[in-house]
Structure 1
Amino acid sequence: MPEATTILLESLRDGYVQVSVFVAITVLAFGLVQYLTGGALLRAIEENERLQPALGGLLGLTPGCGGAIVVMPLYLRGTVSFGTVVATLGATAGDSAFVILALAPEAALYAYAIAFAASVATGYLVDSVGLGVSRVDAAVARLSPATADGGTVAGGGAIGPNPAHDYAGESPTHSHETGPDRHSRVLTPLSHLAHVLWWVAAIVGLVLGSLYLLRGGPEVALAVGPGFDGLFTVVGLVGASLSLYLYAVGRHYVGEGTVARARDSFSSVYDTLVHAAMETSFVTVWVLVALAGYEYVVFFTGADVATLAASAGVLAPLGGAVVGLIPGCGPQIVLANVYAEGGLPFSALSANAIAQDGDALFPLLAVDAKAAIIASIYNFLPAVVVGVALHFLWGPVFGMAEFGFGVL
């Protein structure tokens, strides 16, 4: 088999079994909590103002972007503080967390613990000092009164040290049509069947993925047969193919035609399963593109990423933070894979963990780009500070600056 084809098949297989099945379980778990409690979890966050940055950080810390995405509509409704947004986005592990958890679990433990502590501290600082959007608007107004528009603060004025935003009606990222937007005598039942088969593949894939982790992440041959390697390959390729179908076609005939959107509640268990499958299929596309793209770049260019990163020195954590500024999980998944391949130091991984916002930034960008940009800047600064500190101070002492720290 040509090596280029092997790279594609291995990317499809590994992306599904090593990443997507774990995304599915976490998204489904969060959805079931929302369904069973009728939104009680969200109400608890809204009613505990002093704990909001910490609670937001915990939601962001859950692998994937599901927990963090839920917080954004709460801010847009004016029920959580801007510091909570900063803490949530900064602690967001994103979909790249599944790559690190699978390939370098010890590094994931340290990196995301550091990101959680730094982000929650930044969030509380933002709230206590009053560094919300209105404060930035006021500073801009003093520098250039003609260009200041007062932001989107309710009433055009400050409400306490960290004013919340108030929008009229539901935001487009909070309320959306969840049912199918197309109907076909053939594609509708076929898409529902694909959805059911997708969950069968996900359950089997979760078992195989867990065994893969328990075995220490060994090399798995691209094979077909009754053994572990054969099942790993078949389930991975079938699951990846079904994910691509659901994302490209099935979501229009089953439901959740609009993906990467927050949901308050679900009408049934099946509705919850559909949401989890469609969100995971969306993530799977990112994962597959990132994995295959990176492998093809290395294959066709012969680039030695490890050598380039090793020569970067202190620029490595700075680069990790800069990559974290890019919205979405695709670039972060690429960086996670580079780290797992031994191409980046731990300081760069930690800086990226703090700076990245994953898919959670998109809902905020869509409604309040100013708040999204300011939150990203607030998280970029501690990401650089922590990354550089790990490079010069803590890393040499604890060995965390070494390439391949915590990699299986």
Structure 2
Amino acid sequence: MNELLEVLLVSLRDGYVQVSAFVAVTVLAFGLLQYATDGAVIGAIEGNERLQVLFGGLLGLTPGCGGAIVVMPLYVRGTVSFGTVVATLGATAGDSAFVILALAPEAALYAYAIAFAASVATGYLVDEVGLGVSRVDAAVAQLSPAATPDGGTVVNGGVGPNPTHDYGGPAPTHAHETGPDRHSRVLTPLSHLAHVLWWGAAISGLIFGSLYLLRGGPEVALALGLSFDGLFTVVGIVGAVLSLYLYAVGRHYVGEGEIARARDSFGSVYDTLTHAAMETSFVTVWVLVAFLVYEYFVLFSGANIATLAAAAGVLAPIGGAVVGLIPGCGPQILLASVYAEGGLPFSALSANAIAQDGDALFPLLAVDARAAIVATIYNFLPAVVVGVALHFLWGPVFGMAEFGFGVL
């Protein structure tokens, strides 16, 4: 029982400090850009159909998942192509990017450049020739008939209304066009207070998360007190609990009352902060679920996914791509840490960078599960091809497939 509780607390702490605090920064940065430009950024993405795939790849390339997260709702409302989704998710390195950038910057430069090029190329191929999206969609439908199909909008000639979604306006998640669902003399001010405290925890988490990476990602004891371990633990658990509150309760009393939705513009800085907090809290819940599923699986089964992915020879890049299929950033951060310790070849890191979707997949999973599955499949295939090619072709020539390439 103590071990189960310890896994829960460590997952809450690490999920917030190592992931959510960085997600908050990237989501907020994009939101402030939207506020400053009055929605010109999303407008530019939506209005340039031929460049959407490239824009999506660039947003996915930003460290963390914030840039990629904003693209998913644009597909849901039918204003960007499915190829843009594929390019965005493929280029996304998630929060594992912070680990590699800090500990192996040269490897990060090569790996993420390769992921960007491969993902944008795949995205354009999906938009132009389909690459059998409709067949994959049909195959997924056989496995999950209840899931929402992606509709194959891009294969049928560009961006257009997806028949599986209503694009007439925002999703009817509340009774008003704007504003929270309900008002309460107790819960409304309490939710605003939780929102303010959440940002305090996010700033603190960013500081401790950065120090954690600068220290090389050491083991942090579950402790209380004024030591680094103690403050790391308190900030992480408090931030995670506040995120759970904002997701389950607070979003109905603060903000729009909806989640996983891109905003064209914001009315004020506070509105921008609120939206970023709610979106990050939504991601935090999924991150915590992924962390707990992964950690409890390892605890009860004794399996070590990182060890399996580190198999010798050509199995290494294939294993890296397989780990990338796991939603969320937890396993990817673990794989990045193993690489930084010299336990994986560069080919595995590159394959993982292409295959993984980070936390950006969670909003799409929540509203269009089948599209998320299809996009994941189309990221996995180039990941294996590129990873194996690096192993057999570029590795012997440039040494980039060797263990420890680019590690400081």
Q: Please confirm whether the aligned pair reaches a TM-score higher than 0.5, indicating the same fold.
A: yes
Matching of residue 337 in structure 1 with residue 334 in structure 2: yes
Matching of residue 170 in structure 1 with residue 181 in structure 2: no
Higher CA-based Rg: 1
Question: Structure 1 residues 380 and 175, CA, compared in 2 at 3 Å: closer, same or farther?
Answer: farther
Alignment length (residue pairs): 389
Residue 22 of structure 1 corresponds to which residue in structure 2? 22
Q: Tell me the TM-score normalized by structure 1.
A: 0.77
Distance in 1, Cα, partners of 2:31 & 2:351: 30
Q: Secondary structure at the match of 2:318?
A: helix
Residue 197 of structure 2 corresponds to which residue in structure 1? 197
Distance in 1, Cα, partners of 2:266 & 2:211: 32
Q: Tell me the TM-score normalized by structure 2.
A: 0.77
Question: Structure 1 residues 182 and 54, CA, compared in 2 at 3 Å: closer, same or farther?
Answer: same
Distance in 1, Cα, partners of 2:314 & 2:65: 29
Displacement, 1:188?
2.2
Q: Secondary structure at the match of 2:379?
A: helix
Displacement, 1:30?
0.7
Displacement, 1:40?
0.7
Whether the 8 Å contact between 1:256 and 1:278 is mirrored in structure 2 is: no
Question: Structure 1 residues 272 and 394, CA, compared in 2 at 3 Å: closer, same or farther?
Answer: same
Residue 281 of structure 1 corresponds to which residue in structure 2? 281
- Which region of structure 1 is more displaced relative to structure 2, 215-224 or 339-348? 339-348
Question: Structure 1 residues 390 and 214, CA, compared in 2 at 3 Å: closer, same or farther?
Answer: same
Displacement, 1:116?
0.6
Matching of residue 9 in structure 1 with residue 6 in structure 2: no
Displacement, 1:71?
3.5
Whether the 8 Å contact between 2:73 and 2:260 is mirrored in structure 1 is: no
Displacement, 1:104?
6.1
Root-mean-square deviation (CA), in Å? 4.0
Distance in 2, Cα, partners of 1:373 & 1:205: 32
Structure 2 residue runs of 5 or longer lacking an equivalent are: 138-150
Residue 43 of structure 1 corresponds to which residue in structure 2? 43
Whether the 8 Å contact between 2:324 and 2:353 is mirrored in structure 1 is: yes
Distance in 2, Cα, partners of 1:103 & 1:401: 17
Q: Which amino acid aligns with 2:334?
A: N
Question: Structure 1 residues 350 and 183, CA, compared in 2 at 3 Å: closer, same or farther?
Answer: same
Displacement, 1:111?
2.8
Residue 272 of structure 2 corresponds to which residue in structure 1? 272
Distance in 2, Cα, partners of 1:103 & 1:7: 26
Whether the 8 Å contact between 2:321 and 2:356 is mirrored in structure 1 is: yes
Question: Structure 1 residues 43 and 307, CA, compared in 2 at 3 Å: closer, same or farther?
Answer: closer
Distance in 2, Cα, partners of 1:94 & 1:200: 23
Distance in 1, Cα, partners of 2:237 & 2:324: 30
Whether the 8 Å contact between 1:73 and 1:173 is mirrored in structure 2 is: no
Residue 383 of structure 2 corresponds to which residue in structure 1? 383
Q: Secondary structure at the match of 2:129?
A: coil
Q: Which amino acid aligns with 2:8?
A: L
Whether the 8 Å contact between 1:75 and 1:165 is mirrored in structure 2 is: no
Residue 131 of structure 1 corresponds to which residue in structure 2? 129
Alignment map for 1:153-302 (pairs within 5 Å): 162-166=157-161, 170=167, 177=174, 179-302=179-302
Whether the 8 Å contact between 2:179 and 2:255 is mirrored in structure 1 is: yes
Whether the 8 Å contact between 1:336 and 1:349 is mirrored in structure 2 is: no
Distance in 2, Cα, partners of 1:41 & 1:170: 20
Q: Deviations over 1:8-32 (max 9, x none)?
A: 3333222222221111111111111
Displacement, 1:102?
6.5
Distance in 2, Cα, partners of 1:60 & 1:244: 26
Q: Deviations over 1:276-328 (max 9, x none)?
A: 112212222233333344344434444344543344743443344345456xx
Displacement, 1:202?
1.2
Question: Structure 1 residues 99 and 153, CA, compared in 2 at 3 Å: closer, same or farther?
Answer: same
Distance in 1, Cα, partners of 2:406 & 2:292: 23
Question: Structure 1 residues 172 and 241, CA, compared in 2 at 3 Å: closer, same or farther?
Answer: same
Q: Which amino acid aligns with 1:199?
A: W
Distance in 2, Cα, partners of 1:237 & 1:77: 34
Q: Deviations over 1:152-205 (max 9, x none)?
A: 659xx96xxx53223597267778656322333322222211111111111122
- Which region of structure 1 is more displaced relative to structure 2, 254-263 or 90-99? 90-99
- Which region of structure 1 is more displaced relative to structure 2, 85-94 or 300-309? 300-309
Whether the 8 Å contact between 2:26 and 2:64 is mirrored in structure 1 is: yes
Residue 144 of structure 1 corresponds to which residue in structure 2? none
Distance in 2, Cα, partners of 1:194 & 1:318: 43
Distance in 1, Cα, partners of 2:160 & 2:252: 33
Distance in 1, Cα, partners of 2:384 & 2:6: 38
Displacement, 1:275?
1.4
Distance in 2, Cα, partners of 1:49 & 1:132: 16
Residue 31 of structure 1 corresponds to which residue in structure 2? 31
Whether the 8 Å contact between 1:247 and 1:278 is mirrored in structure 2 is: yes
Q: Secondary structure at the match of 1:217?
A: coil
Residue 146 of structure 1 corresponds to which residue in structure 2? none
Whether the 8 Å contact between 1:90 and 1:354 is mirrored in structure 2 is: yes
